[in-house]
Amino acid sequence: MTSITRLSIAVLIVLFSYQSHAQNNILEKLEEIAIIDQKVMMPMRDGIRLATDIYRPKTDEKVPIIFSRTPYNFNSWGDGEQRTRTAQRAYEAVKRGYAYVVQNERGRYFSEGKWDILGVPLTDGYDAFSWMKDQPWSNGKIGTIGCSSTAEWQMAVAALDHPSHAAMVPQAYGAGVGRVGDLYEQGNWYRGGVEQMLFFSWLYGVEHDKFKPRIPAGATQEDLIRISRFYDLAPENPRVDMSEALSHLPIQDILQNINGKREVFDKMVRRKPNHPDWYAGGLYHDDMGFGVPSFWFASWYDVSITPNLALFNHVRNNAEDAEVRDNQYMVIAPVLHCRYTRATENTMVGERNVGDARLNYDEQIYAWFDWWLKGENTNFKEKTPRVQYYTMGSNTWQSANQWPPKDSQLVTYYLNSGGEANTMYGDGSLSTKMPGKDNPDSYVYDPMNPVKSYGGNVCCTGNAVQGGSFDQRVMETRNDILVYTTDILEEGVEVTGFIESTLYVSSDVKDTDFTIKLIDVYPDGTAYNLDETIQRARFREGYDKEVFMKEGDVYKIDLTPMATSNYFKKGHRIRIEISSSNFPRFARNLNTGGDNYDESEGVVANNSIHHSKAHPSHIKLPIKQD
């Protein structure tokens, strides 16, 4: 055995011992202050029982409840970060006078039934509220909290307006947003009619094999507790190189190709953006009501910042109850998916240092819950801005009474070139000057050689894409990327709000995609990505129909809005990139006009971006006015 091997083993032993000590320590602290009731099988209206752990203060007084419902493993026995995290969250809640209740969705771990994304049916959430409010130790007030999959179910259940659902704190909740206005992401499955491949990877890692061990129906709580001490029903699929796996064609066979469980995936991969089944599950859509005061948490480098902000605005403007409309608050942090508490005095998102992005999250969240669940006068409304958002570049927290801030005004920047905007060395420019003669910029999009995703606003893709901000110059030498850049800024410019973009395009194929990326270019040339989006041409007139292109015709395409808050300092430049692929963040368009999901052969597309008085391709930037 080499000295390096002995050292590695020693490090692992120390790390394991440290994790075990940390977990045992928090469990001991929790046992000192809490009554712990694990593997309570909460009954739903159809007889299915959901595994639930309850931690409540040692008191005879009735207490409010903080409820977390999740598809993930929260078994507090054994080792693991997730289990220590559950115990820590329970401890923080109980010491503040709350019962902390955590429950698995049906079909997950010890819960009975068959699982589907977002833990449908919606009645499970409603039934859980009814059961909890009737417990002798409950004061009847329930707040929900969670990030990602523990947040995404909350919106559709909020539409049911259970009288005990008093407040919620959804964090990184985009995969629960179906349709809001013109946005048809259907739970992050789509962006602009293009599949976001994060769910291909996520489902492989999350879904348990159909032959997994199952607890016999009617097992007692005593049996379940005993079993959970040595076996927590948490098998792991073999590790897969997702950067390779996501390249497989046809995309409908990706999970089959890596021996993943396919039932949920197989039905979703065939749905088009406006398929009726999107409206029959657990997603929230804008034709549903909304009855719960909410403290929303989003982040600039999450997968769904635009629909997250759009939903916040929708609820503020359209909730039937005026009190609900008036009690919607938002925090937008400069971090990746669910990384709020990992901000430091030198917060890194990818390669970019965005400064001290720390915020007193716990203090604000518990002030919110104390107000709604305990009835305490925490002065939350007086102390807390309607919207707290972090501006990168200036690296400061700011506040506003609405989103976007009322002092942000859209300014149009037009694409210009002499017809050679290809690569960062081309002649593409971005300015407020209207273009004159049309000198279209053309490029070849080969779906067998797509533009690779490099950083970005993404999560859950394994090793296929690393999220965050990275120097895009490594990509901008490709001839199939068009680059448009402003002159050097003589004064700093703050861009805060939704970014709208319109392209006039033509192609020699029936259908293709168009991508856009917003970039902050530093004086030394470093080009940091801020946000990105994509649009499938066949859906340019709406997601309820498919309209194909004809060779030689020019078409107007309005892309899904982007969003950011970034200060472009004096000496910097504003840049956009345009192409037809961003893979594997988004699935490749094979350009055939077919279903795409069941195809293995692509067609090369010759695509053009037009910019003239007749076809003024442009981007509208929300410039914050002094």
Task: For tokens 């009619």, name the residue.
Answer: 193
Q: How far apart are CA 32 and CA 264, in angstroms?
A: 42
Q: Over the stretch 559-578, which tens digit does the pLDDT of each residue have? A: 999 999 999 999 999 999 99
Domain borders along the chain are 28-331, 408-624
Residues 488, 150: Cα–Cα separation, whole Å:
44
pLDDT of residue 24: 67
Query: Above 60 in pLDDT, residue 13?
Result: no
Residues 6+ apart with CB under 8 A from 550: none
Residue 431 class from Cβ within 10 Å (0-12 exposed, 13-18 middle, 19+ buried)? middle
> Exposed (0-12), middle (13-18) or buried (19+): which is 543, by Cβ within 10 Å?
buried
pLDDT in tens, 595-616: 999 999 999 999 999 999 999 9
DSSP string, 322-370: HHHHH-EEEEEEEEETT-GGG--TT-EEBTEE-------HHHHHHHHHI
Count CB atoms within 10 A of the CB of residue 230: 8
Kindly tell me if the per-residue pLDDT of 150 is higher than 90: yes
DSSP 176: G
Work out the angle at residue 84's Cα, subtended by the Cα atoms of residues 78 and 85, and round it to the nearest 5 degrees: 145
Q: Are 117 and 82 in contact (CB under 8 A)?
A: no
Q: What is the pLDDT of residues 311-339, one digit of tens each?
A: 999 999 999 999 999 999 999 999 999 99
Rounded (10°) CA dihedral 149, 155, 159, 164: 80
Please name the residue that has the structure tokens 């790390």.
15
CATH architecture of the domain covering 28-331? 3-Layer(aba) Sandwich (3.40)
What is the per-residue pLDDT for 83? 62
User: Per this entry, what is the length of the chain?
Assistant: 626
pLDDT at 18: 40
pLDDT single digits (tens) 220-260: 999 998 888 888 787 778 899 999 999 999 999 999 999 99
Evaluated on CA atoms 485, 486, 492, 494, the torsion sign reads: negative
Stretch among 219-233, 393-407, 451-465 having the lowest mean pLDDT: 219-233
| Cα gap 573→394, rounded to integer Å | 15
What are the structure tokens assigned to 431, written together? Answer: 């300015």
Residue-level pLDDT at 4: 43
pLDDT given for residue 80 in this prediction: 55
Q: Is the dihedral of CA 208, 214, 220, 225 positive or negative?
A: negative
From the number of C-beta atoms within 10 Å of its C-beta (0-12, 13-18, 19+), residue 7 rates as exposed
Closest to 451 (Cα-Cα) out of 607, 599, 305, 335:
607
What pLDDT shows up at residue 378? 95
Q: Can you read off the two tokens belonging to residue 412?
A: 């149009």
How many percent of the chain have pLDDT more than 90? 87
pLDDT number for residue 215: 82
State the average pLDDT for the chain: 93
- What CATH topology corresponds to 408-624? Jelly Rolls (2.60.120)
Residue 491 phi, psi (nearest 5):
-135, 155
Note the pLDDT of residue 23: 56
Close Cβ partners of 322 (under 8 Å, ≥ 6 residues apart): none
CB atoms < 10 A from the CB of 446, how many? 15
- Residue 3, pLDDT above cutoff 50: no
pLDDT in tens, 532-552: 999 999 999 999 999 999 998
Map residue 444 onto helix, strand or coil. strand
Confidence of residue 82 (pLDDT cuts 50, 70, 90): low
Q: What is the pLDDT of residue 7?
A: 43
State yes or no: pLDDT of 16 exceeds 90: no
379, pLDDT greater than 50: yes
Q: Is residue 8 pLDDT above 70, yes or no?
A: no
> The tokens of 330 are what?
């938002």
Give percent of the chain with pLDDT exceeding 70: 95
Specify the 3-state DSSP secondary structure of 614: coil
